[in-house]
Structure 1
Amino acid sequence: MSLTVAPESGVTLPCTSREFRNAMGQFATGVVVVTANTEGEVHAMTANSFMSGSLEPPLVLVSIAKSAKMHERITKAQSFGISILAQDQEWCSNHFAGKTHPVLVPNFVQLEHIPVVEGANVQVATVLRHAYECGDHTLFVGEVTALVQDQGPAPPLVFHAGKYAAIAGAN
């Protein structure tokens, strides 16, 4: 990677993968759980590389590492779910990031035959429409087939600089 940087910034380029990741971590994001159902088995992973892509038709995008098990599962299922987590679901985010809670276990509900996390602020079911290679990741574009939003959503779970954060003034 070759970039031009102002000399006073103190940054040396090209940067390492870790330096790039740390820099991009300065962009606060929400936290989602991505789900897929393959061969009757629910699979899930935590992600923060999620965004809406289009209003007409309603599309969402998620970026998944090619090395992640979820990559193959979305490709195989040709669909995926997105659960936008609430601030009090940090334990759920950790669970699907490999840090399980000794007592709490996430539950799933079906939305158009797609598993989503029970109690999430927003639950989305999609059909896979596009998959774009993007370096060591793939951008999966899903067309929204169903959406449920909590009528009294809790403050969102936020991730910033490698840790969970709270939005100031959120109830």
Structure 2
Amino acid sequence: MNRHIIIPAIAGDGTLYPVEKMEAHVKGLLHLAVSVFVFDGDRLLIQRRAAAKYHCGGQWANTCCSHPHWEESLEACAERRLDEELGFTLPLMRHQTVEYAASVGEGLSEHERVTLFSAQVDSKSLEIVPDPDEVDAVRWITPEDLHQEVSAAPQDFTPWFQIYLQRFPGLKFD
């Protein structure tokens, strides 16, 4: 995995400036990100991050998350990472942007301004081909079952995914 990616960080005046991704996580700099949620009806496709990921390895997260490269659009980033991580593309609907900060272990933190994207699909017709360097497992889950699992074993889920579940309990955006 290339950890030396340049991403857009956000200055105090709201302007964007380029920063190395790991520097943003070490220093807790506010930066841009995307989160994708793929649904089949009310069931959400979730992924368990590969154990070797630089943070939160082995934890469950929403369908896909990433950072746009410097000068890459949020839409292009969401589409690119869905394909890179899970091996498929879908038409994505853009939703609101949220901000959060969370420790992700190993002395790293996320301080992100995240634009949410979603898609609806018939899971029977979706071929999922996870990249093993990115994803250990995928599965479909209802919001109710997801809340029960997070309550029973929060350590199994990424901090940002838990934040999304608190802010959007039914996983409905806008």
TM superposition score normalised by structure 2 = 0.28
Larger relative strand fraction: 1
Q: Which of 1 and 2 has greater Rg?
A: 1
